[in-house]
Amino acid sequence: MKITVKKSPIVIPGFRFSGVACGLKPSGKKDLSLLVSDVPATAVAAFTTNQVKAAPVFIGAERLRAGHLQAIVVNSGNANASTAQPGLKLARDTCALVGRELAIDAQLVLPSSTGVIGVLPDWRKMRTGIPAAAAALSPRGFWSATAGIMTTDAFPKVATRQVKLNGRTLSIAGMAKGAGMINPNMATMLCYVCTDAAVSRAALQQVLDQTLPDSFNAISVDGDTSTNDTLVLLANGQAGNREITPRGRGYTAFRDAVREVLCRLARMCVKDGEGATKVVDIYVNGAKNTADAEKVARSIAYSPLVKTAFFGGDPNWGRIACAVGYAGARLDQDRLAISVGDIPIGRNGMSTGSRNEHRAARIMQQDEFSIDIHLHMGRGRAHVVTSDLSTGYVHFNSAYTT
């Protein structure tokens, strides 16, 4: 998709950022980023559930236990995944060098990597890149850091929000890289959200737990994550507000602002799906329960046959009904209703005819549209955002080389 990004300056009090090129990407583009807080920040994170985990994910999970981080170091171009012990050593060495350069405890540094799997990153390049990134740190470096975490992304993914709380302005800024094959087989998703809000660890954890299902987990499933997926929230308290607690004043406004940031970033990841030409919202209603609704939504969102029909703009009621049928949810096929936008294409388990089909086909010409499923079995609901499957996807992914 063609996306134009206006790069307004982004400043989060008490944070500095940088992105430099150290040669990990053959293209010579930026491939090493630092995100640094002036003081140790409250930190929570979510990592991939893939059983094959990259070295930085193991190290990152260790570092998170203490609940605070002061720096995140991200390299792109190489995922440091399936690299066994040498990979773990390299991730630890990376944190140690960042700690020395910034004069902070290496235990407060979280590493992230994204790119090619199965090959150890070149330490000589990282060893020169890290001091360069440290020297380039700036309160205005957010966009540079965003560039440094990108791999096959067609555009940088950034979202910001501000929340007023007792006269204080809390700033929230997030960056993400989506890599694109979001669905069903997500390439590495990295997302870092920085805020100057003062937030207790418990509150920040609760924010993550309450916002992840609607945002990044609504575009992927637990089982289908890459080896490196990482999402971190950092709150450094420099706004000087009274600390936000799980049941305290301002919690809801803050959480909702974080949710908006995450949802915008997640949607950008779908929009930037490799070769994606369309963003499709799948809404399921009337399932026996939420779990059933999610099964149906994901079954549709992951069906290559349905996704190629999206690409072709074909309101193929049969393919959607078939994907509903093998989802494993309780259903009565004679109650099934399917709409494209506001046009019903199936009702009571049957097609609504060719006139509706033609109207639905027109809606499917748009860049974004929705598919609404009603099972008429109960009150379970789910929403998943997906993209189409285009010839571009196959071109891209068959050419991408190890």
Instruction: Name the residues that contact a second copy, by CB under 8 A.
Output: 49-53, 79, 81-84, 116-119, 181, 184-185, 187, 223-227, 303-305, 308-309, 311-312, 314-319, 321-329, 331, 333-334, 336, 346, 348-351, 357, 389-391, 393-395, 397-402
Q: Which is nearer to a second copy, 27 or 51 (CB)?
A: 51
Min CB(218)–a second copy separation in Å: 18
Catalytic residue list contains 352? no
Q: Which is nearer to a second copy, 105 or 314 (CB)?
A: 314
Min CB(268)–a second copy separation in Å: 20
Distance CA 173, CA 143 (A): 11
Q: Which is nearer to a second copy, 199 or 331 (CB)?
A: 331
Min CB(395)–a second copy separation in Å: 6
Catalytic residue among 188, 225, 227, 386: 188
Q: Which is nearer to a second copy, 153 or 196 (CB)?
A: 153
Min CB(339)–a second copy separation in Å: 14
The radius of gyration computed from the CA coordinates of the chain, to the nearest angstrom, equals 22
Min CB(315)–a second copy separation in Å: 6
- 359 token code pair: 């109207």
Partner residues linked to 47 by β-bridges: 230
User: Nearest 5°: phi and psi at 372?
Assistant: -115, 125
Q: Which is nearer to a second copy, 117 or 197 (CB)?
A: 117
Q: Which is nearer to a second copy, 242 or 395 (CB)?
A: 395
Min CB(392)–a second copy separation in Å: 9
Min CB(123)–a second copy separation in Å: 16
Q: Which is nearer to a second copy, 244 or 345 (CB)?
A: 345
Residue with tokens 């209703």: 337
Q: Cβ–Cβ contacts within 10 Å for residue 193, how many?
A: 26
Active site residues: 188
